[in-house]
């Protein structure tokens, strides 16, 4: 058909034009992919710190082997990204008909977020397009013999997992699509097994490589635990920071991304689970924050190609900075309209009793669930967004027909007749009300998550206990502070306490054996222009040192000797006439 080809050309042309007009310099993860590709070509193996899925690096290495620069790698990414237009066209045509297919393809081609990330080079869009190809293949399944479509879909899922491992768990979820296509759970389950097997076979070479490299059979990467640790890190509210790298290296003796990869990743995963159990209400607040970051806007996508320092030169950098509010507003408006339309389209599909329109939802929920559970960035939602275009376009076409009181034309393979105009209008109203309720509930949930993080924030830092390094975890010494924010703050080597007229406190539990011990620490106050106030250290509720804040502005070393029969609870408390802070650093027990 000529229309999908025309949509591909449109999408490709817009992305290539953007690449030419916005010559962003790859930075961060995007630069790392290119550096890994260069290392692979020069040494014939991945670099010692490579713990990711290799698909995109292999693609970049292929481009470099042909003499291409990072600009050529962007072009290769654009060629693949443009394939999303005919794919969402094909899905929307099957689900909602030809007019919705055209709308879906045009929306994808004009998608500001998708165009914006074309001028950087990364894994998200290629993986998203391959996942969309798998969903398109599932929609081609024959009701009586779905095996061929299931195998093709599994191949695409496997290729996507070569780029991002999160695509692999999507293969078993094809059972919902196949159930809608076949009308039989038995055939759907067998087809989903075929899809999963095909994906595993595509990934088999990576499994052999991992067995040769690590002595274990697995088909994923080796940084899930590290990612979970970043997502659970309380000192930065789950944001990546080099302070965490330094703390992990201090405690474990292993550099971040250093070998042994599998052991380091397993340790990080266990520590992430311990931090989550230590304060589950804060962990819940972080999960809600990750969901908000993943789905709330697309302006964050523009950071890498436009607004990070050093990615653009003048005059392009100045131009985009002058128009930044308008550009970000337009990008977010498109995303909010797409998200709301997708939600409404999904509800419309349910009301019209067409289960195929619900088949994309398990993929989207699974992708969101993985990122909310571990770690989220705005660009991680790109696969979710690509899968949103078919139902969003279906909603737009249904709304147009409903407000014109036009009878919906029959759809291919529809199990139920198209609704009459009045019924279609009622369905649209119900879908819009449901969408509004979901969005309102999301806003309330995000506000609740912010409150949970503020009230239950804890801190973690590296501390030395009896010659060994540990993670010391601190929480507010008065958890039920009438809903007030937690005063606890953290850095890689210490804990801070916000001070005010009312006494605040923080405490940690030190696992010690019976005997005599000596504790060393340094107290430092940050309370400019204040007189009065004091800080104290307590062991098992007994005050062992009390110091005026005026003596702590330059730091004061303290040593406490004590006897204990086991674990001891160390606490720091303080007051100040006005807002201030006191920090305990360099904690060491011998």
3-class SS shares of the chain: helix, strand, coil, % to 5: 60, 15, 25
d(CA 37, CA 26): 14
- Give the separation between CA 203 and CA 170, rounded to whole angstroms: 14
* The pLDDT of residue 159: 97
Q: What pLDDT band is residue 418 in, cutting at 50, 70 and 90? A: low
C-alpha angle with apex 246: 211 to 251, nearest 5 degrees? 70
User: What's the rounded Cα separation, in Å, for the pair 79 and 59?
Assistant: 12
pLDDT of amino acid 302: 92
pLDDT digits (tens, 9 = 90+) for 520-530: 999 998 876 66
Quick one: which H or E segment has residue 542? strand 542-548
Q: Give the whole-number percent of the chain exceeding pLDDT 90.
A: 62
CA pair distance 357, 92, nearest whole angstrom: 9
As beta bridge partners, residue 468 has 465
Structure-token pair, residue 464: 């030395």
CA 171/CA 314 separation, integer angstroms: 46
Percent of the chain with pLDDT over 70: 96
Distances (CA, A) of 278 to 73, 227, 376, 568: 44, 18, 21, 17
Residue 122's pLDDT is what?
84
**113 has pLDDT over 60:** yes
Give pLDDT tens digits for 265-302.
999 999 999 999 999 999 999 999 999 999 999 999 99
Name the packing angle between helices 242-252 and 261-278 (round to 10°). Answer: 110
Other C-beta atoms closer than 10 Å to the C-beta of 61 total 21
Q: Among the listed ranges 211-225, 386-400, 419-433, 461-475, which one has the minimum average pLDDT value?
A: 419-433
The predicted pLDDT at position 530 comes to 64
Instruction: Tell me the per-residue pLDDT of 151-207, one tens digit each, with 9 for 90 and over.
Output: 999 999 999 999 999 999 999 999 998 998 888 899 999 999 999 999 999 999 999
Beta bridge partners of 548: 534
**Nearest-angstrom CA–CA distance, 547 and 583:** 13
Whether 415 has a pLDDT exceeding 60, the answer reads no
Residue 524 C-beta-side C-alpha neighbours within 13 Å: 13
């Amino acid at each position: 058909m000529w229309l999908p080809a025309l949509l591909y050309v449109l999408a490709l042309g817009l992305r290539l034009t953007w690449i030419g007009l916005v010559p962003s310099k790859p930075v961060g993860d995007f630069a790392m992919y290119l550096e890994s590709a260069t290392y692979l070509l020069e040494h014939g193996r991945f670099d010692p710190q490579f713990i990711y899925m290799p698909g995109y690096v292999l693609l970049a290495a292929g481009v470099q082997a042909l003499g291409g620069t990072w600009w050529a790698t962007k072009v290769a990414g654009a060629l693949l990204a443009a394939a999303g237009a005919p794919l969402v066209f094909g899905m929307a045509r099957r689900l909602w008909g030809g007019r919705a297919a055209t709308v879906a393809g045009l929306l994808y081609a004009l998608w500001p977020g998708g165009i914006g990330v074309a001028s950087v080079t990364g894994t998200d869009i290629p993986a998203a397009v391959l996942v969309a190809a798998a969903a398109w293949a599932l929609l081609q399944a024959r009701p009586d013999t779905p095996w061929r479509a299931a195998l093709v879909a599994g191949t695409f899922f496997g290729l996507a997992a070569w780029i991002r491992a999160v695509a692999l768990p999507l293969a078993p979820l094809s059972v919902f699509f196949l159930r809608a296509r076949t009308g039989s759970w038995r055939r759907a389950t067998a087809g989903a097994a075929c899809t999963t097997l095909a994906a595993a076979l595509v990934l088999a070479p990576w499994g052999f490589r991992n067995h040769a490299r690590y002595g274990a059979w697995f088909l994923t990467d080796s940084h899930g635990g590290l990612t979970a640790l970043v997502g659970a890190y309380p000192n930065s509210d789950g944001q990546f920071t080099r302070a965490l790298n330094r703390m992990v290296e201090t405690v474990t003796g292993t550099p971040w991304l250093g070998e042994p990869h599998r052991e380091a990743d397993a340790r990080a995963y266990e520590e992430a689970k311990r931090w989550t159990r230590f304060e589950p209400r804060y962990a819940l607040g972080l999960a809600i924050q990750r969901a908000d970051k993943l789905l709330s806007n697309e302006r964050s996508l523009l950071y890498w190609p436009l607004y990070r320092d050093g990615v653009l030169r003048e005059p392009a950098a100045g131009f985009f900075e002058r128009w930044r509010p308008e550009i970000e507003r337009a990008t977010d408006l498109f995303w909010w309209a797409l998200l709301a339309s997708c939600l409404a389209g999904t509800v419309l599909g349910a009301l019209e009793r067409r289960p195929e329109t619900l088949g994309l939802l398990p993929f989207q929920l699974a992708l969101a669930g993985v990122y909310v559970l571990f770690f989220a960035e705005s660009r991680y939602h790109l696969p979710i967004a690509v899968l949103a275009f078919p139902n969003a376009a279906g909603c737009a076409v249904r709304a147009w027909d409903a407000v014109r009181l036009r009878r919906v034309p029959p759809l291919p393979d529809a199990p139920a007749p198209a609704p009459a105009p009045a019924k279609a209008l009622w369905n649209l109203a119900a879908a819009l009300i449901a969408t509004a309720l979901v969005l309102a509930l999301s806003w309330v949930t995000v506000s609740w998550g912010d409150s949970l993080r503020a009230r239950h924030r804890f801190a973690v830092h590296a501390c030395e206990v009896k010659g060994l390094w540990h993670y010391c975890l601190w929480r507010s010494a008065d958890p039920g502070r009438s809903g007030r924010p937690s005063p606890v703050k953290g850095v890689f080597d210490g804990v801070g306490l916000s001070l005010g007229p009312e006494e605040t406190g923080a405490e940690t539990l030190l696992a010690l054996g019976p005997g005599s011990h000596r504790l060393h620490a340094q107290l430092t106050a940050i309370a400019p222009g204040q007189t009065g106030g004091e800080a104290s250290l307590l062991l098992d509720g007994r005050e062992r040192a009390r110091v005026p804040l005026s003596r702590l502005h330059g730091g004061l070393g303290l040593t406490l000797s004590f006897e204990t029969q086991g674990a001891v609870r160390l606490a720091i408390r303080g007051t100040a006439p006005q807002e201030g802070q006191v920090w305990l650093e360099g904690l060491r027990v011998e």
